Amino acid sequence: MPDQRLNYISGEWCESHTGETFETTDPAIPGDVVATYPESDAEDTERAINAAREASGGWGTTPGPERGRILARTGSLLEERKDELTELLVREEGKTRSEAGGEVQRAIDIFRYYGSKASDIGGTIKSPSARDTKLYTKTEPLGVAGLITPWNYPIAIPAWKIAPALAAGNAVVIKPATLAPGVVHEMASALEEAGLPDGVINVVTGPGSEVGETIAGHEAVDAVSFTGSTAVGNTVYDTATEDGKRVQLEMGGKNPTVVSDTADVDKAARIVASGAFGVTGQACTATSRAIVHEDVYDEFVDAVVDRAAAIEHGHGLDDPSMGPHVSESELESTLEYVDIARDEGATLEYGGSTLDREGYFVEPAVFSGVDSEMRIAQEEVFGPVLAVLPVGDFDEALAVANDVDYGLSASVVTDDHTEANRFAEEIEAGVVKINEKTTGVELHVPFGGVKDSSSETYREQGDAGLDFYSISKTVYDNY
């Protein structure tokens, strides 16, 4: 029987006042219902926001080390339940067991990291110009943080928003994505067990048009952090900034890997295939374009096709090379882009078809003969589809790499140190990698993009994550 899950508001698990629910299903077995959740509306969301507002004062004045101990304890509780969380993530989102387990471990590490950082939050002492005076700063929480998170990293992204918000002393209202909200409920349970006071975290499930819009526009919410599509993110930004909220957006990408003529082609193909086809291509940092020097182009295409053809599909719990798309609509979107690329004249070298089995499975697709004007080279696909573009030299490669509206992650594979340095300096991206895939980020350094990939306001993760959820007060004490 499917789990019957509830909202978490003011320390209590409760139904939506509407009484309506929605289901999550296993994308590898679409008829298998995993859980039911409240289909909440604006009234439920307002209850959660008010609970957070009421709890924010007490939590904001809780000493940082005490807040940190609760976060660290949460990490330990999540670790005790890692296998359970991994299986739940697989069944709702579709990742392979290895991918899901790695994501759960990231959430564990994030809570431990911010648990330790909470003790260092305070301020700085400065030297005043006058005698008999103290001059110092105090770091304080904003109040209530509203978080809107996506389905593709359903525990890692909520963790890297929740943990710094709580470490900084804010109360939280989070709307997890309706396709895979279960692991956020489990995080709330772990935080409750770890000793988080009632109302400091509140979880409300339901549609973005009701829950997300209420979070973004409510006057009692002080900051909004959103991860998702650029179109939705821009709407959230417009709503949230009407009354001056602090806003952080991380959105889409069209991430390139440049392959130099100096590169080891087999190594380059391995790096690109891993970035393009890992997590079924459902990552904002996934490698969507391989921009390859013409001298090694044909060899590279053959090598990356071999990598694509070697991928084995299956239910994530069996830990294959690739799991399904998260939903039928996401699968249909990928198939539509395969058709668009063909219609525009790109050559389908491999894949791009559904599998003759139950579930939302698709072969990874590799297109050659792509030019930068094609939609397949400009628009985010969010599936395992790789466009391979030929270029004549490194200058052209840089120009093509930057010839998109997005600027999230980018990498270069080269044995030329000058090319590596130029790439780091000239690429228009918030994350730059040399001889690595575009996916995968460290939790203790800033993460975010430029152009249409980000609001370009605040970064996430590391100290930057704390900066977003904090504000500085300067004190002049003439004693």
- Residue 121 CA to chain centroid, in angstroms? 25
Which helix (DSSP H) or strand (DSSP E) does residue 412 occupy? strand 409-413
DSSP-derived secondary structure letter, 460: B
Please enumerate in sequence order all residues whose Cβ is within 8 A of that of 437, keeping only pairs 6 or more positions apart, or say none. 257, 271, 272, 274, 275, 278, 287, 411
Q: How far apart are CA 35 and CA 154, in angstroms?
A: 15
Counting every residue written for the chain, the total comes to 479
- 250 an active-site residue? yes
Q: How far apart are CA 323 and CA 120, in angstroms?
A: 41
Are the C-beta atoms of 37 and 181 separated by less than 8 Å? Answer: yes
DSSP-derived secondary structure letter, 449: -
Which residues are 292's β-sheet partners?
259, 390
In the chain, the largest separation of any two C-alpha atoms, in whole Å, equals 80
Are the C-beta atoms of 67 and 167 separated by less than 8 Å? Answer: yes
From the number of C-beta atoms within 10 Å of its C-beta (0-12, 13-18, 19+), residue 446 rates as middle
> Catalytic residue among 39, 99, 210, 250, which?
250
Residue 34 phi, psi dihedral angles, 5° rounding: -85, -45
Choose among 75, 54, 62: nearest CA to 194.
Answer: 75
Q: How far apart are CA 323 and CA 328, in angstroms?
A: 13
Two structure tokens written together for 150? 């996506």
Are the C-beta atoms of 162 and 200 separated by less than 8 Å? Answer: no
Q: How far apart are CA 206 and CA 7, in angstroms?
A: 10
Alpha helix stretches (DSSP H) within 3-140? 42-60, 64-80, 82-93, 97-117
Active site residues: 250
